[in-house]
Amino acid sequence: FPHVWLASSFKGSGGQDIDWVPVRHHVNNHYSWNKLIIAGLPSVAKVGGFVLTGWSRYMHHTDLCELLPASVPSLALCLAAATSHEETALPDGRVSGISAQLGFTGNIPVRNEPHFGDSATELSFPGHGVYEVIFRHAFLLAQFSQVRQIFDGAERARASEILSKKAVKLMEDAEVELGKVFPPSVVQEWIHTKLSHVLQWLQKQT
């Protein structure tokens, strides 16, 4: 073939049960492609460009994974990486500029798991409310795991009561923010598959 197109992803390829987008995983994939291009792929065939894919389900009957609005920061950095000639990292100024355009007070978090020091409160890009819901959901699951594995007896009951209130508030906010972007069927599916079982378990402990 005289031309080849390269396929990559900005979301949806890290696992069928992943909700928080592992930005570093996706951006590093583009750097790997850049290395291959620089190493001589064009001598075999001319590169026509990148096709950036973004699955929301692995199969038609599986649960939702990364949602598009929550993946906008990943998409922005992946586009920057794909259109650069960088092999390992974008210049700090480029990253900070993209982050500022999306409303981040610092650089876009690229960790595979959100960090307590990351902020998701000053965002301005379309659908940022969904990003914030997913951000809070990831923390809720981390706390939920701690309650199940570490606490017991009265201590578990107290922790479960506190966390159940956070889960209820998150469900309410998810219904509002996801409802701005998705039809009611998708909103209810996400809440049912991602939060309902957590709340049910917590309420049984109190």
Whether the pLDDT of residue 62 is over 60: the answer is yes
Between CA 58 and CA 193 the distance in angstroms is 15
CB atoms within 10 A of CB 86: 16
Residue 14, pLDDT above cutoff 90: no
| Confidence check: pLDDT of 106 > 90 | no
Average pLDDT over the chain, rounded to whole?
Answer: 88
Under 8 Å between Cβ of 112 and 138:
no
What SS3 class is residue 204?
helix
Q: Is 140 helix (H, G, I), strand (E, B) or coil?
A: helix
> Does the pLDDT at position 41 exceed 70?
no
Reported as a single tens digit per residue, the pLDDT across 129-160 is 999 999 899 989 989 999 999 999 999 999 99
**Out of 11-20, 52-61, 83-92, least confident range:** 83-92
Q: Tokens representing 189?
A: 């599916």
Contact between 122 and 107 under an 8 Å Cβ cutoff? The reply is: no
44 band by pLDDT with thresholds 50, 70 and 90: low
Q: Is 129:120 a contact under the CB 8 Å cutoff?
A: no
Q: What is the pLDDT of residue 115?
A: 65
